[in-house]
Amino acid sequence: MEAIKRLDGNGRTLYVQIFNGKEYRLYNGERYFSRGTKRLHREVWKYFNGDIPKGYHVHHKDENTWNNEISNLELIEMHTHLRLHAKEQNENEEILSQRRKNMAKASKYAAEWHGSEEGRKWHSEHAKKQFANAKPKEFVCEWCGKTFSAMPNGINRFCSNKCKTAYRYYSGVDNEIRKCKWCGREFTANKYSRTWYCSKSCSGKYSASVRNKKD
């Protein structure tokens, strides 16, 4: 599916793909071509295969979100899909290295500008304009797939804190490596959990040792 390059009303470059007579745009900062709340890859799948079962995502086989041909799309269980992408990004040293460089560079200049008189003035005026002109928009929750209405703030990814928490838990973004307090083996756990043993067996052995010491 060919991407067409255009200029929007403000002279900025815009890419679009046309499917079934409708135009889907790739907005700045987005990974997927969309039309309102409808994402192109999901619409292509539904056109050829019907509704997407609850709990499943449409996955690009070659990881190229510009390749929205039906032959490049497949259904994959939602939690598996999230873990797949999180694992790929966390294991890609090139991506991690570039992230660290970008963050270091951006943090330095952002801190200087935001703290300046010009930066403070811009924030004040921008906030007033946004508040005066803001209208609720519809978004699709990245966890449960439900459409929800909210004031656009640039981070409208989830319909509730419950879905946000579930996404972070199953994607593994908050995981860390710990060492079992009983056997010393390393294991993966959520950084907010109170788990300090690699298995129930080790937890049971530790508890038994504590009881024996008391006896």
H-only helix segments in 134-215: 161-171, 200-214
Residue 194 forms part of a structural domain: yes
With cut-offs at 50, 70 and 90, classify the pLDDT of residue 202: very high
Cβ–Cβ < 8 Å for 123, 114: yes
Domain count for the chain, please give it.
2
Q: Select from 57, 76, 95 the last residue of a domain.
A: 76
pTM, rounded to two decimals: 0.45
Instruction: Give the β-pairing of 73-77 and 137-140.
Output: unpaired
CA-CA distance, 208 to 214, in Å (whole number)? 10
Owning domain of residue 187? 177-214
Q: Select from 21, 47, 76 the last residue of a domain.
A: 76
Tokens of 204: 């049971």
Cβ–Cβ < 8 Å for 73, 59: yes
Cβ–Cβ < 8 Å for 33, 40: yes
3-state secondary structure at position 181 = coil
What DSSP element (H or E) covers 4? strand 4-7
The predicted-structure confidence for 154-193, as pLDDT tens digits, reads as follows: 778 899 989 988 888 877 778 888 999 999 999 888 888 8
- Residue 82: which of 145, 162, 169, 158 has the closest Cα? 169
The predicted-structure confidence for 18-67, as pLDDT tens digits, reads as follows: 999 999 998 877 889 999 889 999 999 999 999 999 889 999 888 888 99
pLDDT score of 92: 56
Residue 45 forms part of a structural domain: yes
Q: Select from 59, 76, 93 the last residue of a domain.
A: 76
